[in-house]
Structure 1
């Protein structure tokens, strides 16, 4: 393995090893990709306040997310089709998360199934749920998540319609993928990826095929998926979903303080400030840009987490300083997965851990739970007065 200094090193290696169709699925946003880029640049605009002359011995990153002890306030975000970035990708990432002492989140649209993760890790994990039109399938999915030992359900609210993702359309990425001569030729230039895919039997959506009515194989999957986006999804759905689930419920996809308040009233145990990685509404603000206002509105009533644009431990520290109780990484762990499989995800998490610890030390703190806005240069903290009251 080459010397890896940061997440960007992993991204460059993944770009060489993962077929273009699936690499672009990860490293892209919707429309002009303005929001996707803002997620990263907005973190860079926030400056840290260096402190000296303080003892920084005995530092600790240990924290809690939803009452669960974690080695640092970081979790792996749910990403669909992760098992196409690397064979058995979700299983490998879940194992890496367990080894690192953080939580893994499985997507509804994963290649490995809930049961696959349960068998492979024998440890609790979180499950992300899309509210589909097929209510019977939805109910069975919730019950399967319970049976698999998931101890939190993450409900995504910002995918009632699909964002216009140009790269996916150009590459023929659909469910199932539309393979062309160009895409097949590109896959053949990635021999390690091809060998991995030949060795595994997991190449389709494991949570859906064989579980949804009338979906017994990949040929029947496409029509079913196309009918499942649910534009009728509303806050009322949270009530019956939480009642059926009966456990901790996290609501994901919030960028508005008023929506955050509604989520709390609906019974959310935590909320995730997220713009879907810039893959839905292009022109929306960066997640970190609206984080302070949402924390000010609901941070005392519920846990506030964030995803979108986190590429380093410094980004995590900035999010925690702005009031987030946890940060979820999506692309950062997928680049590690695409580069080196399970070891790559472990490496991505370790890079973030070391950066977080070192940056916290430079800012004069020894306990991640004591970090607040005082570690940031005040003039660079995102404004909270531009949103509609």
Structure 2
């Protein structure tokens, strides 16, 4: 595979600066911001960066191997792409670019119900090797149609979302007009004119739309009524009564995303789920919640032998991934980091970001003397884990 690593952007900090310079401010805020005062957004990463690893320098070492088995698939690294909504708003064709990069790097890609590429488009790019995240619809008929489309497209891992029972209060999005219903302000229009590469890409790609949902959206809705339609379509929270029929219908791997406490994990086990992703929606829903890494010390010992325990949120480097794996995660998922790569570097930004993360993780594993990604647990310094 051709390398697309760009040595001018060897860390996410460089990617972030480049992305911010190329994007309209409202698009960057949608990608980077959290809810309320962004306390939990900051805590996610700061807690991960408190984790310390113990190196073994004088032992025999055969080399580091990142390949990781998950649900019967062997991936080239222990991380993948988390579901992100409205990717095409942040950068034209971002969803398609990331799906292609994930395939090329043999990493799992997760498509959101509210992304800007359809199930069928991503299935074609990935040859059906993708995950699908379901925002639970209010109507069972729509739920079943989405499940059928995902299965027919080749998807065998379904992610159901638990941590968005309400529409979040995100001040930057409200000010920018990206609330529901969305609005376009003179300030946003000016920002688009000042971001010519983004604007030209949008012109070529076409207006960002909820492509997976497009067949079910009444034609001719203005922005206000589209917002009201989406509000009504995805109202409500995920409950046991909603999980049970999905488990019955879905014959593949079933994962719940947004678990942060043992009580909810017990319900996941009770209904025969195959995995859970410890996540707080990237600090975008509850500003006074725990970071993603803190619950791991309780969830992994209690549930790690019953289902796969994965993690999402707060990881911006290979060292961050290593820290989360050391805390017991079987696998890590990232949303903002790959998106920053695409927003900074366009079509090949995902390729660059995955190469960068692999290089960083490889260095950490070789430095501490860890031969397999799952072996990072043995290098954790327990007292460094935030309480």
TM-score by length of 1: 0.94
Query: Is 1:132 the counterpart of 2:156 in the alignment?
Result: no
Match of 1:254 in 2: 259
Instruction: Tell me the equivalent position of 1:29.
Output: 34
* Residues 218-297 of structure 1 mapped to structure 2, 5 A cutoff: 219=223, 220-231=225-236, 233-297=238-302
User: Could you tell me how far apart the structure 2 residues matched to 1:146 and 1:103 are?
Assistant: 16
Deviations 1:183-212 (A, max 9, x none): 010011111111111111351110112234
Q: Which segment is superposed worse, 22-31 or 43-52? A: 43-52
How many angstroms does 1:229 deviate by? 3.5
2 CA distance for matches of 1:366 and 1:134? 48
**Per the alignment, do residues 56 and 297 of structure 1 end up closer, same or farther by CA in structure 2, a change over 3 Å counting?**
same
How far, CA to CA, are the matches of 1:37 and 1:259 in structure 2? Answer: 24
How far the C-alpha of 1:217 sits from its partner, in A, is 5.2
Partners of 1:208 and 1:215 within 8 A in 2: no
Of 338, 349, 352, the match for 1:333: 338
Unaligned segments of structure 2, at least 5 residues: 1-5
Alignment of 1:90-239 (within 5 A): 90-174=95-179, 177-201=182-206, 203-212=208-217, 214=218, 219=223, 220-231=225-236, 233-239=238-244
C-alpha distance after superposition, 1:84-139 (max 9, x if no partner) = 12111111100000111101000011111111112233241000001121322221
1:310 aligns with 2:315: yes
4+ runs of 1 displaced by more than 4 Å?
215-220
Q: Distance in 2 between matches of 1:173 and 1:56?
A: 51
- Partners of 1:107 and 1:232 lie apart in 2 by 17
SS at match of 2:49: helix
* Alpha-carbon offset, residue 304 of structure 1: 0.2
**For residues 13 and 55 of structure 1, what CA distance do their matches in structure 2 show?**
41
1:377 aligns with 2:365: no
Is the Cα–Cα contact under 8 Å of residues 27 and 331 in structure 1 kept in the other structure?
Answer: yes
Alignment coverage as a number of residue pairs: 381
> Is contact 1:22-1:85 (8 Å) kept?
yes
Q: Scaled by the length of structure 2, what TM-score is found?
A: 0.94
**Of 67, 72, 77, which aligns to 1:72?**
77
Cross-structure match for 2:3: none
CA contact (8 A) 1:209 1:221 kept: no
Separation (CA, whole Å) in 2 of partners of 1:194 and 1:313: 32
Would the aligned equivalents of 2:259 and 2:277 in 1 still touch at CA under 8 Å? yes
